[in-house]
Amino acid sequence: MGQNFIACDREQSLLLPPDLREWLPAGHLALFVVDAAAELDLEPFYAAYRRDGRGRPAHDPAMMVALVLYAYAKGVRSSREIERRCVEDVAFRVIAANQAPDHSTVARFLVRHERALAGLFGEVLALCARAGLVSAGVIALDSTKIAADASGQANLGYGQIARELIAQGIATDKAEDELYGDARGDELPPELADPKTRRERLRAAKAELEAEWEAQREAHQQRLARRAEHQQRTGKRPPGRPPKERDLSGEPPGKANITDRDSRPVKTPRGFIQGYNAQAVATEAQIVIAAELTTGSADQGQLEPMITAARRQLAGAGAPGSPKVVIADAGYWNGKQIQDLMAQGITPLVPPDGHARGGPRDDRAGGLYQHMRRILARDDGRELYRKRQTIIEPIFGQTKFNRRADRFRRRGLAACRAEWQLITATHNLLKLWRATPAAA
């Protein structure tokens, strides 16, 4: 009796079931994403296309949305990698209905539907709310720094930008003289013209620094005028500390990044990176209920805006209840915002000792420092504050390391904000998938 093996006939006409859905086991993430995409309001995507059907046919937005959601959920954000997966990966082929949109199509879809993709955050949150996963009693707020698609070495000062523009102008004139001689240069074929040149980025960065410098000058002059008008009208010295004397002449200070002008050097535990400050608010079930992006390293001043955004998202998603306790680290301490939240019936737990201890600040804060210390010193206060580590910090770990979303793919604050909201939306989608009985 010979050896017994399962036959492997690669010339067989059909090796896979005729139904695409049977290519994957029941409860697979790809099938769940297809079903979830069918529940989303995709009208903003369809509205971007002609109603009369004329023109070259486009891929169905429902398929493209499901493809983008699944790719981001799996940590695949490169359009070229998505194109390859649509050929080599069975799950991607099931979602794309055995089609293979090229990387240019995927990239253009992300750019064209930037705002609509960001709006999926609220749609997915509504799905989580209907599944009973959103409980807003205790929420946590924190931030993480994500690198921009730019180099820190591309930060140039006003003088550097001006000198490089002059040097490039001289080099261009010399090259054109050698190339064209006495001709105007109009004879250059249009296909050789490149509008996205380094010179244009330098000019834009230079104009931005000049505009910021002019805005600072105007604000300083208006401040001085208001104080002078107050003293002339009342005969008394204006309240508050007088503005310091500043030399507002000369070149604009600061630097601008010529690759991504909105990005800034932000501080991380391992030093500074060129990037953004990504904010997130999450529930005890690690469902993100608000996501925002800022350009500064500091978190101070973001407490009340983020909680307001979270309440707005919860209301839009139809989630029951409202936040009762907000947990944040010492970087979010802001006396006025904490008092405003307390007036709204929300209990903030924010350590006041991140940067200063005791002293006259307690008196100016109306005893708020001592009040917060007493709350956090109690057993129930300490127990609540410990939840911050298990609520919000694992989300950043899963996002930046497990799904490799530690650098934005696009440039500009608006584009990166939309990308961050899409990343957090797919985080919520994964939480919803794991909570479904079929996935379990």
CA 115 – CA 40 distance, rounded (Å):
15
Q: Report, as an integer, the average pLDDT of 70-87.
A: 95
CA 64 – CA 55 distance, rounded (Å):
19
CA 84 – CA 75 distance, rounded (Å):
14
Gyration radius from the chain CA atoms = 28
CA 326 – CA 305 distance, rounded (Å):
13
CA 421 – CA 407 distance, rounded (Å):
14
State the pTM of this model: 0.79
Question: What value, to the nearest 5°, has the Cα angle with vertex 107 and ends 103 and 112?
Answer: 145
Tokens describing residue 101:
């949109």
Backbone angles phi, psi at 169, to 5 degrees: -65, -45
Q: pLDDT grade, residue 181 (50/70/90)?
A: low
Residue 119 pLDDT more than 80?
yes
Using alpha carbons, list the distances in angstroms from residue 383 to 341, 346, 438: 21, 17, 34
Q: Report, as an integer, the average pLDDT of 322-349.
A: 93
Question: What value, to the nearest 5°, has the Cα angle with vertex 178 and ends 177 and 182?
Answer: 50
The amino acid sitting at 241 is: R
266, 407 contact by CB (below 8 A): no
pLDDT in tens, 2-56: 788 877 777 777 777 778 888 899 889 999 999 999 999 999 999 999 888 888 8
Element (H, E) at 263: none
Using alpha carbons, list the distances in angstroms from residue 360 to 31, 363, 365, 368: 60, 5, 9, 12
Residue with tokens 């298990």: 390
The amino acid sitting at 412 is: G
